[in-house]
Amino acid sequence: YLGAHLSVGFFSFPYFSEFDIFLPHRDNITVFIERGTVPPPTNACNIIFQRRRSFTLIIKPGERAIFSFDCPDPAKHYVLEVQKSIDCMAGPCPFGEVQLQPSRLPALNRTFIWNVKASPKVGLELKFSSPRLRQIRPGDTCPDLVTYSISGSIEKTAANIGTFCSNGTISQIKMQGGVKLALHLPWNQNRNFSGFNITNRSSIKRLCIIESVFEKEGSATLMSANYPEGFPEDELMSWQFVIPPYLRASVSFLNYTLSNCERKEERVEYYIPGSLTNPEVFQLGDKQPANMAGNFNLSLQGCDQDSQNPGALRLLFQVLVQHPQNEGNKVYTIDLRSEKSMSLTIEPKPLRTNRHFVPACLICEGPTTCSPNLTLTSGNKYEISFLCDDMTRLWVHAEKTISCADSGYCSRKSYQLLVASDIIQLPVQLRDYTWKLLVPKDKFSLQLTPAQKLQQHTHEKNCETTFSYLLASAVPGQNLYFGSFCPGGSIEKIQVKTNISVVLKTFLPGFSREAFRQGMTVTFIHSLKDEGVFTVTPDSKAKVYLRSPNWDRGLPPLTSVSWNISVPNNQVAHLTFSKERMGVSCETGRAFMIIQEQKAKAEEIVSRDDEPLPKPRDLHHNFWVNISNCSPMNGKQLDLQFCVSLTPKKMDMTVIILAAVGGGATLLFALGLLICYAKKSKKKKVGKGPAVGIYNGNINTQMPEKTGKFHKGRKDNDSHVYAVIDDTMVYGHLLNVSNGSFTGPEVDVYRPFQGPMGDIPPSPPPICSRISTRKLHPEDPLPFFLPESDGEPYTFSHPKSVEVKGNGDNDIPLLEKKELEDIME
């Protein structure tokens, strides 16, 4: 609809271009040609239109104009403005790519103005695909002199959003209820595209949203609306930032002033990935967040100003995007292709909630997907990296299920419980690794053989390794915790009757250095009668402390546990119990503790729940310590702890006599020994009184003597046992019944104990050994008789039962809370 002809000698002004502009009615475009702001020499140049000279030309919608200039350089004198109104109130909006119309305009400085009228409820989105925009401060110019000016309106007042060059990061500007966009082009720019499109959106509920997309390192300077004038009263403006993974963003406020607020508070709010306290609220005077990973947004909220003295809220800020400053982009490979039924999660440690800003800490899978937590599953191989300023804010935990589904197959198979090196190499603390070992009920039991013999964690002998194994039943409803075990002890083998979870838990940093001490072999064995059997082969020097499962809250009802303790040929074992009694009060049945040497015709030393435990004694052969619980009354539970120490066997009598020949002094010494020996042998070994009752774990219920005194004797039938356990289940409410999902290990030690407790502390034990005269070094194990207290010189918190009289709504189990506190200090 228009044309510019090169006309020669049409007027008396040869060689100058003639322009033909036609503006169809429907385009709603008006063109203004007028003299520029720089005052030119008078009469230097005129517009020739309809054979008349003039200084202005206005072409309205539906009109056509053929004109020219009477000078060779009209760009020095004239500017051109194209105004187009788009009225979305009257009819549907012509959305989409915005055309730069009309084309073939004279080469003057020109401004295209689009004035979009829309309902105040409609959001309008201006999208600048390429080039993107860069906001400039008022008065600054763009290198190519191509400038966008954008303003909106609040009711009838205009609000200036900003001036932009076409070289930056701003990809979108969303406005509410109408927008005016002006594109200024210098006379020598022959650009023929507008560079943006418009679409309608639902309400954005604020003045505007400016989105910046960073593709590489860079910075953006941004301003509040109307800058350097005051931000509109009680308004809200937001900026969104898209930041590539591997880069970090920092915000700094270069300049701001506050208005005088009558009500509400001026502030900025951030949404930051990885923050647990979004939105993060800052005052303008605060130090703003830095080193943020991931996309974030920021909003400026004004207030109701004092009408007498409003002041001005204004903000000029910079977002700087750069590579992380203090951490390499190391990529870790985790290969889980040969694993089965296994998952691994890296996640933030729970933090005590506070309103302080915490920079993001993200885990990235591959080059682009970053999130605050990441779960990896078996069968896949992963490349992961971290965007995190402080790796101690993360931890990793893993779970694996090993089940024996085909009994013929698994009876021949063994499994290794090992934390793979791919996991050990991660720069993140291993919180725990849980193996769930599942066997068909009553068909198989499990045998765990540690790579290094284990020590049970007790107060007398703490585990001082960086990690421990926590063993607990994985049968829903069975609240049985076998204990915490670490390498470096005497326990050679642990057999458990049925499904358990083995949790390798780290307590100190440095697991990677000690990881060579981990490892357990699992095999499937014929079904056991006892809930657990511990095979203990003590070393000659160390004292071995052992305690019954569920220490401090009692062995579950009708449960039996055995210890097979071996005594080398040339040694004598000294067995000491930590208390005088078992501590249990039975409601039904009887509880027993039986000691029996593993030799022909060995006597059984039996203690019943109502009898004292045996005095310290020496044993010359491998022996059993078996315990079997009744259904206890609330409050008085069965806790048994004992200590085994080895000493060299006294010399044989013939040897003594032979030796006596050697010399008088030796003879005297030997005689002394002999007397001592004889005296000891005379001591009666059997506990007083005949033992009566049922050893709950054995199929051939042992009823030593006086059978029939207790008519509550029951057949040893497991279904019966479980039924009783269900009825008397004391801790069942604490169990996390997760139906086999991976929601967390069913290790009840993590949870605060809320059940009934014995009212008397364990009574002081008799001597276990020849210690105790020497002064205690702070690092020495505590003596046997110290009751538990918070003042214990623990350097790390191993599981222990803590009585909590709360409502049990704690989200973070107590132990973990305590650990956290330790970590945070």
Ligand X SMILES: *[C@@H]1O[C@H](CO)[C@@H](O)[C@H](O)[C@H]1NC(C)=O
Residue 92 makes contact with ligand X by CB under 6 A: yes
Of 430, 429, 512, 472, the C-alpha closest to 745 is 472
Residue 223 makes contact with ligand X by CB under 6 A: no
Residue 620 makes contact with ligand X by CB under 6 A: no
Alpha-helical (H) ranges within 34-94 are none
Q: Kindly state the smallest distance separating residue 551's Cβ from ligand X, in Å.
A: 20
When binding is defined by CB under 6 A, the residue of 119, 129, 167, 380 that contacts ligand X is 167
Q: Residue 14 or 39: which CB sits closer to ligand X?
A: 39
Residue of closest CB approach to ligand X: 36
When binding is defined by CB under 6 A, the residue of 189, 257, 322, 371 that contacts ligand X is 371
Residue 365 makes contact with ligand X by CB under 6 A: no
DSSP 460: S
Q: Residue 79 or 334: which CB sits closer to ligand X?
A: 79
Give me the 38-77 binding string for ligand X, x by CB under 6 A, dash otherwise. Answer: x-------------------------------------xx
Alpha-helical (H) ranges within 610-742 are 653-661, 664-682, 718-728
Q: Kindly state the smallest distance separating residue 536's Cβ from ligand X, in Å.
A: 8
Q: How far apart are CA 147 and CA 150, in angstroms?
A: 10
Q: Kindly state the smallest distance separating residue 52's Cβ from ligand X, in Å.
A: 21
Q: Residue 122 or 251: which CB sits closer to ligand X?
A: 122
- Chain CA centroid to CA 640, Å: 38
When binding is defined by CB under 6 A, the residue of 39, 143, 708, 778 that contacts ligand X is 143
**The two three-digit tokens of residue 337, written as one number:** 């292709």
Residue linked to tokens 């295209």: 112
DSSP string computed for 623-648? EEEEEE--EEPSS-----EEEEEEEE
Helix, strand and coil percent figures for the chain, each rounded to 5: 10, 40, 50
Q: Residue 534 or 784: which CB sits closer to ligand X?
A: 534
For the chain, first and last CA: distance in Å? 77
DSSP string computed for 62-101? T-EEEEEESSS-GGGTEEEEEEEEEETTTS----EEEE--
Residue linked to tokens 């804010």: 393
Q: Which of residues 526-545 bind ligand X (CB under 6 A)?
A: 529-530, 533, 535, 537
The answer to whether residues 822 and 797 touch, using CB atoms and an 8 Å cutoff, is yes
Q: How far apart are CA 125 and CA 197, in angstroms?
A: 8
Q: How far apart are CA 575 and CA 566, in angstroms?
A: 12
**Interacting span for ligand X (CB under 6 A) from 174-182, 249-257, 458-466, 620-628:** 620-628
Q: Kindly state the smallest distance separating residue 38's Cβ from ligand X, in Å.
A: 5
Q: Residue 322 or 622: which CB sits closer to ligand X?
A: 622
Q: Residue 451 or 659: which CB sits closer to ligand X?
A: 451
Residue 240 makes contact with ligand X by CB under 6 A: yes
The answer to whether residues 346 and 430 touch, using CB atoms and an 8 Å cutoff, is no
Q: Kindly state the smallest distance separating residue 55's Cβ from ligand X, in Å.
A: 12
When binding is defined by CB under 6 A, the residue of 297, 378, 452, 736 that contacts ligand X is 297
H or E element, residue 814: helix 814-824
Strand, coil or helix: 517: helix
Residue 111 makes contact with ligand X by CB under 6 A: no
Q: Which of residues 573-602 bind ligand X (CB under 6 A)?
A: 594, 596
Helices 664-682/653-661 angle, 10° precision: 160
Residue 499 makes contact with ligand X by CB under 6 A: yes
Q: Kindly state the smallest distance separating residue 310's Cβ from ligand X, in Å.
A: 25
**Interacting span for ligand X (CB under 6 A) from 306-314, 420-428, 548-556, 560-568:** 560-568
What are the contacts of 601-605 at 24+ separation with CB within 8 A?
603/685, 603/686, 604/691, 604/702, 604/704, 605/685, 605/686, 605/687
Q: Residue 241 or 545: which CB sits closer to ligand X?
A: 241
Q: Which of residues 172-201 bind ligand X (CB under 6 A)?
A: 186-187, 192-193, 200-201
Q: Which of residues 380-439 bind ligand X (CB under 6 A)?
A: 403, 438-439
Interface size with ligand X, residues (CB under 6 A): 57
Residue 624 makes contact with ligand X by CB under 6 A: yes
Q: Residue 660 or 735: which CB sits closer to ligand X?
A: 735
Q: How far apart are CA 227 and CA 159, in angstroms?
A: 10
Count each helix (H run) and each strand (E run) in the chain, helices first.
7, 54
164, HSE (Cβ side, Cα atoms, 13 Å): 32
Q: Kindly state the smallest distance separating residue 165's Cβ from ligand X, in Å.
A: 7
Q: Residue 440 or 756: which CB sits closer to ligand X?
A: 440
When binding is defined by CB under 6 A, the residue of 271, 332, 415, 785 that contacts ligand X is 271
Q: Residue 465 or 523: which CB sits closer to ligand X?
A: 523
The answer to whether residues 514 and 760 touch, using CB atoms and an 8 Å cutoff, is no
Residue 91 makes contact with ligand X by CB under 6 A: no
Q: Would you call the peptide bond into 440 cis, given omega within 30 degrees of 0 as the criterion?
A: no
State the sign of the Cα–Cα–Cα–Cα dihedral 690, 693, 696, 701. Answer: positive
Residue 555 makes contact with ligand X by CB under 6 A: no
Phi and psi for 360 in degrees, rounded to 5?
Answer: -65, 150
Q: How far apart are CA 350 and CA 367, in angstroms?
A: 26
The answer to whether residues 398 and 256 touch, using CB atoms and an 8 Å cutoff, is no
Residue 441 makes contact with ligand X by CB under 6 A: yes
Strand, coil or helix: 805: coil
Give me the 768-797 binding string for ligand X, x by CB under 6 A, dash otherwise. Answer: ------------------------------
Q: Kindly state the smallest distance separating residue 267's Cβ from ligand X, in Å.
A: 14
Q: Residue 273 or 762: which CB sits closer to ligand X?
A: 273
Q: Kindly state the smallest distance separating residue 116's Cβ from ligand X, in Å.
A: 12
- Chain CA centroid to CA 408, Å: 40
**Interacting span for ligand X (CB under 6 A) from 8-16, 32-40, 253-261, 775-783:** 32-40
Residue 440 makes contact with ligand X by CB under 6 A: yes
Q: Kindly state the smallest distance separating residue 238's Cβ from ligand X, in Å.
A: 4
Q: How far apart are CA 560 and CA 701, in angstroms?
A: 12
Residues lying near ligand X in the complex (CB under 6 A)? 36-38, 76-77, 79, 92-93, 109, 122, 134, 143-145, 167, 186-187, 192-193, 200-202, 209, 238, 240, 271, 297, 299, 347, 371-373, 403, 438-441, 475, 498-499, 529-530, 533, 535, 537, 562, 564, 566, 594, 596, 604, 622, 624, 626, 695, 698, 702
